[in-house]
Structure 1
Amino acid sequence: MTRLAEWLAAIREFAGLAMLLLACLALPSQAAVEPLRLDAASSMLERNFIGHMQAYHDKTGLLTREQVASPPHQQKFETLQGTFNGGYAKGAWWVRFRIEASPEQVARPLEGGWWLRLNAPYVDYIDVWWADADASGGFTHRALGGMRAGSKRELPWSIPATRLPELRDTEPRWVWVRLAGDRALSLAGGVSPLREQAAVQQEFNFADAAIVGMALLMAVLSLTMGIALPDRRFMAYAGYLLTLGLLFASSEGMPATLWLQDHPLAAVRLHNFSVCLHTAAAFGFARVLLDMARQFPRMNRVFQLMTLLCLAGCAIAIAGGYGYIARPLNLLWVVFAACIVPMCAVVLRRNVQAWPGLVGYAVYFMMGAVHFAKNLQWLPYNRATQYSYAIASVLHIMAFFFALGWRVRQRERRAGAGERRVGGEGRASGWGGR
């Protein structure tokens, strides 16, 4: 009994310590952040925002930089452990960090200068301020974001970037960033030389182009097979892939930098429209692939209703009301992913040949839903959560195409078995060879 009492006491102490640690983690952190060091000898990882940012939510969205920098509001900034993820927030978010030049940088300024890399793919309005390099006490302002014309940026690329001033001393300086808009608010990035900035942009362009190209190529192939067979599942899959290609082509700020540089409003609304349209296509394709009208008649009616609601969302997005439907739309994606996998499991129990479809949706559920959970602030913003949907898209595109091909193959086998059975019955009855 004595040993049991000692164990219980130890467990209580451990539980108390764990609760204390959780309480400490829940408290806002006011710790000072280390400045970002402009040093050409450091790596890109050492010059990113992680561990250097503080954030404050302005629920009214009306505060100016001078007001936010005043003592009453400065005390409300919380130190971020990772990158910033504000989700679908009303008002505006303020993020701040400090920069400082190394002695070597002050003595020998970097050719091409240092650039502030603001990876905020869905933010409509980005405003940046920093103190002037001279002693005037003024501030330099830069206006970026999806709702600002790409042709007016210092670098007309999809990743917002602005050149920092040449610092003449090693004194740390604050940089203030205001984020606002109807889409998901997030911020990653850091400070980079121009060559490094270009390399990061090329990586983004390559990834987006690869996914869009793959989706369009397989859409054409699926459409061709759907017409030749004919098979409505291939036709539905072609429509799904076309909307997926449109979604990736209109995301990450690509239209504003490639086709709609002077029409940012059209570029943003095109992305909002593509999200709603692809959601509708996802519900429609799931109905056809799982033959819900026959196997799940009640869920078929639910998915029909969801498809109609998403199509109505397309009109709302074009009209500029995406901010009202963004959060429910992302929640709908998570619910869709959670519902479709159990239905695939039921179909698999009825027909073991349906396993490729289960694999496709299982991959989608495990990875794709992570992206939308990140938008809803259930998960932190990082490279894994941001690009989980892109990774899931590549994998489940291949899985679904294999599933449709496997279905055609099984249909051919059944037809061949039927012909052999009919032929055998004919020979047994004495009609063979006549």
Structure 2
Amino acid sequence: MRLGELIGMAMRTVLSNPLRTILTMLGVIIGVASVVTLVAIGRGTSAEIAKQYENLGTNMLVVNVNGNGRATQLDYNELMKLEGLPEIDTIAPTILKPNSNVKFDRTQEKYTMIGTNDRYAAVVKAQIDTGRFLSEADLELRANVAVLGSEVSKKFFGFLDPVGEQINIDGIVFTVVGRLKEKGQNVSGTSIDSMIMVPLETARRQFKLGTIRTTYIEAPTKDDIYVAQDTMKQYLTYKFKSDTGFQLVNQDELLKARTATSNTLTKQLVSVACISLLVGGIGIMNIMLVTVSERTREIGIRKSIGAKRRNILFQFLVEAGVISGIGGLIGLLFGIGLALAWPAFNPDQPTLISVDISIYAFLFSALVGIVFGLYPANKASKLRPIDALRFD
């Protein structure tokens, strides 16, 4: 008997009892839908992580100084001399002053103020919306000028251009020279949108801030970042006479670690979802055993008129494959629909449908049906015609 005829017979059998068929397929449907959805969520999360790091630049190194006192102080001029090294392209030292009281007219709010240099915007991939960023002249003159993040600007000036206006930061008047475009949160959960940037020496002197605690370093390429990391480690170890007073954060390493963690979690969840496929396979085996019992006389008649053992075996294997294949197809469509709808309920968690995994899940579901249908099919094929015809 040809494969097309066997599939046609299997379809008629499936449609003859739709409720039982649907219940049989349920485990396969849930398993395939779970695999497709979970992989889509996992890959979407990995893509979002990669996008966030890309916004900062995977060729960026962050130096954090942990110690206190003169023994662990960074000197601005010394740091800037390192820009001449081939593995270091740009350096932007920073001093932070969280919860600064910012006033304009009758509006007052607390924001983080950053004292930095003219390289900072380029290193953190921030773009100017209006006006300009800090300049070398601002640093040399220790000018009272400020660049506003988009959220800060919107809070005090709405959609108006803030350039030229004066704001009050902890009692000191600053002239706004620029506004940044909206950037959103980075991987650490902070956002430059809610920050105010002023010249580093201005921040240090006006607000009596201490030493440079965080320095952003950009390498020419992603490959150079590891050389830059080794260079900074050697420099800081020599300067502080210790390798414990600082921390080097390599963005490329963080990206790889976060992506690996996300992928591992996704694989674990998919493994759990595959259990549903196995449960579905057991359900298919059970229902096929019932089908063999119900159709014993049919098997006996077919064998008595010349059907061979392999014909009976293939017939029931095809039935099991059709049941699991249809269940896999329904699960595939349901999983894709759920993956597409997921961001509507979880805006911060995008999805990315994986075509290859979806195909593998569908093929695996069909394979599960065939494997678990093998025992019932083999049992049916071994029935003796005389015994099958006497079955009541």
Q: How does the TM-score come out when normalised to structure 2?
A: 0.26
Q: How does the TM-score come out when normalised to structure 1?
A: 0.24
Bigger relative contact order (CA 8 A; separation at least 6): 2
